[in-house]
Chains A and B, each alone.
Chain A
Amino acid sequence: MPSLEKLIKYDQAILEPAAELSLSDDGGSVKLKGLEDLVFLCHFNGTSGPSHPFFALAKEETEGTDLCGAACVAFDYAVHKFGTSSLLQVAEWGPGTVICKPPKSLVFAPELTVDFWARFEDLQTGAAERSLIDRYRILPSPTASWMLFIIDGEIGLRLNTTNGQCTLQTSGLEMEPSTWHHIRAAWTENGHAMKIFLNGSLVAQGDFSGTVKDSDDPAGQNPLEIMFSAVPQNAWMDELRIFNSFKGDEFTPPDSPTQPFSSRIPRAKLSLDAGYNNATWILSELNFQNETDFQNDGIKIRLHGDNDNSPEFDGDPLSLDQARALDPLVARWLHLEFNFVSDGDTLRTLTSGKIGLKPEASIWTRREPEISRRF
């Protein structure tokens, strides 16, 4: 007799702690929450292979999107601020790295904060601007919506607004060559303010009017450009972060890589009801729409069955394969506990699923009450 399928959705799931997990609108998935306003993060930790694993939080949105024009940048495994490598633009004419389709959360954002560690072999640029990071807008005419650059040892931020361009640039800044500096630029359309920070200290602030002109061309011609400069430079970049908020206060630069996700183990708990006591749950038929995070030990399960809806989970969490190898569980209620395991840098997503439920062997024939006449 074929088993019935019981759907697993998470509308009624208990999230512990709720602050670290998010439930999709339709209850079809649960995922680890990232830092709220961090929309882009590049560790620039190089590894061999065709993928680009240095994109962490943005990975989901950039995956499958080509990176182009990377001929003049390379991972430098000898010089880096954190991790295994940094991004180096070698001293040749040519472009840096281009993210063809940047995350939607930074397109048209009314506020942005961009920061990174940077190191320059030579701070002199011959009165020319070297772009460090910019958002390029090709329509209606080629220009940058915003650009953070250095010029002869000074840091500049240019916004292309509906009221024309506005450039904020330092003068008399003391940066050292071949030294790591933390650079941050931030602006807000709401407060019409723009600021530049060096090593956490405010070094420039100004105001601007209008809104930053941006566009989202479906052809993907509005990339995020990283060290895409026509000017030769030996420049290194590490730990690039973009927040879609205005961080206008002085701060202590990060002394370790940013971990966007919690490295604790939040849990999602869910109870399925067969509708009758001693139902048989066929654990070998437990499966999920996407099992990637189960297979790489990112999500583990604990199970409990009972007839009185009193979940008690004990023992070590199991892998999905271990759970499937268990004997069928006889109970009215099947309680599932999903444990999200992250290294702090990896998004985990639990998708909807289903489990086999054995139909009742027999259904009692309904007996009509006997009615006896009384005389």
Chain B
Amino acid sequence: MKELFIIAEQKNGKNFKSLIEPRPVCPDCPEAAFQGVPMSGPLKKIFIEASMTLQVSCGKCGKKLAEFPVTVAGE
């Protein structure tokens, strides 16, 4: 399972893209734990523009799981 994450920046009108692959799973909170609350994204994503990375952490316990590179769309 992969996820294409597109960020539409309002200030400069640019789109940033990051491919989350493979989609990380929290070792402490397996995705099955989210089946009762499927509408809350199991992953939290924070775009750090300075380092052009997307920080992905567990949506339940907050544990940092992975970082993925971010690129400017169309470049």
Chain A residues engaging chain B, CB cutoff 8 angstroms: 127-131, 134, 136, 142-144, 147, 149, 158, 164-174, 196, 203-206, 208, 225, 228-231
Contact A173 B15 (CB under 8 A): no
For B40, list chain A residues within 8 Å (CB).
128-131, 229-231
CA distance A170 to B11 in the complex (A): 11
B8: nearest residue on chain A (CB-CB)? Answer: A204
Q: Give the 7 A-B residue pairs with the shortest CB-CB distance, closest first.
A: A204-B8, A230-B37, A172-B10, A165-B3, A131-B39, A206-B6, A164-B2
Contacts A127-B44, A142-B35: A164 and B4 contacting too (C-beta < 8 A)?
yes
Contact B46 A165 (CB under 8 A): no
Contact B41 A203 (CB under 8 A): no
Min CB gap A206→B, angstroms? 4
Contacts A144-B39, A172-B9: A167 and B4 contacting too (C-beta < 8 A)?
yes
For B29, list chain A residues within 8 Å (CB).
none
For B44, list chain A residues within 8 Å (CB).
127-128
Contact B2 A165 (CB under 8 A): yes
CA distance A173 to B15 in the complex (A): 14
Contact B4 A166 (CB under 8 A): yes
B37: nearest residue on chain A (CB-CB)? Answer: A230
Contact B59 A128 (CB under 8 A): yes
B38: nearest residue on chain A (CB-CB)? Answer: A142
B9: nearest residue on chain A (CB-CB)? Answer: A171
Min CB gap A39→B, angstroms? 21
For B73, list chain A residues within 8 Å (CB).
206
Contact A136 B4 (CB under 8 A): no
Residue with the greatest number of chain A CB neighbours at <10 A, chosen from B1, B11, B21, B73: B1
Q: Which of B29-59 contact A (CB under 8 A)?
A: 35, 37-41, 44, 46-47, 59
Contacts A171-B10, A172-B11, A173-B10: A208 and B4 contacting too (C-beta < 8 A)?
yes
Chain B residues engaging chain A, CB cutoff 8 angstroms: 1-11, 15-16, 21, 23, 35, 37-41, 44, 46-47, 59, 73
CA distance A129 to B3 in the complex (A): 16
Given contacts A131-B39, A164-B1, 13 further A-B contacts (CB under 8 A): A128-B40, A128-B59, A134-B39, A158-B41, A164-B21, A165-B2, A165-B23, A166-B3, A169-B6, A169-B8, A171-B8, A196-B8, A230-B39
**Neighbour of A169 across the interface among B7, B37, B39, CB < 8 A:** B7
The DSSP consensus for interface residues of chain A is strand
Min CB gap A152→B, angstroms? 10
- Interface contacts (Cβ under 8 Å), in number, total 81
Min CB gap B20→A, angstroms? 8
For A134, list chain B residues within 8 Å (CB).
39
Contact B5 A169 (CB under 8 A): yes
Q: Can you list 26 A-B contacts with CB-CB less than 8 angstroms, sorted by A residue number? A: A127-B46, A128-B40, A128-B44, A129-B39, A131-B40, A143-B38, A144-B39, A165-B1, A165-B2, A166-B4, A167-B3, A167-B6, A169-B6, A169-B8, A170-B10, A171-B7, A171-B47, A172-B9, A174-B10, A204-B6, A204-B8, A205-B15, A206-B15, A229-B40, A230-B40, A231-B40
CA distance A128 to B38 in the complex (A): 13
B6: nearest residue on chain A (CB-CB)? Answer: A206
Min CB gap B21→A, angstroms? 8
Min CB gap B26→A, angstroms? 14
A198: nearest residue on chain B (CB-CB)? Answer: B10
Contacts A127-B46, A128-B59, A172-B11: A136 and B39 contacting too (C-beta < 8 A)?
yes
B19: nearest residue on chain A (CB-CB)? Answer: A164
For A228, list chain B residues within 8 Å (CB).
39
For B37, list chain A residues within 8 Å (CB).
230
For B15, list chain A residues within 8 Å (CB).
205-206
For B8, list chain A residues within 8 Å (CB).
168-171, 196, 203-206
For A169, list chain B residues within 8 Å (CB).
5-8
For A168, list chain B residues within 8 Å (CB).
6, 8
A127: nearest residue on chain B (CB-CB)? Answer: B44
CA distance A229 to B9 in the complex (A): 25
CA distance A171 to B48 in the complex (A): 11
A173: nearest residue on chain B (CB-CB)? Answer: B10
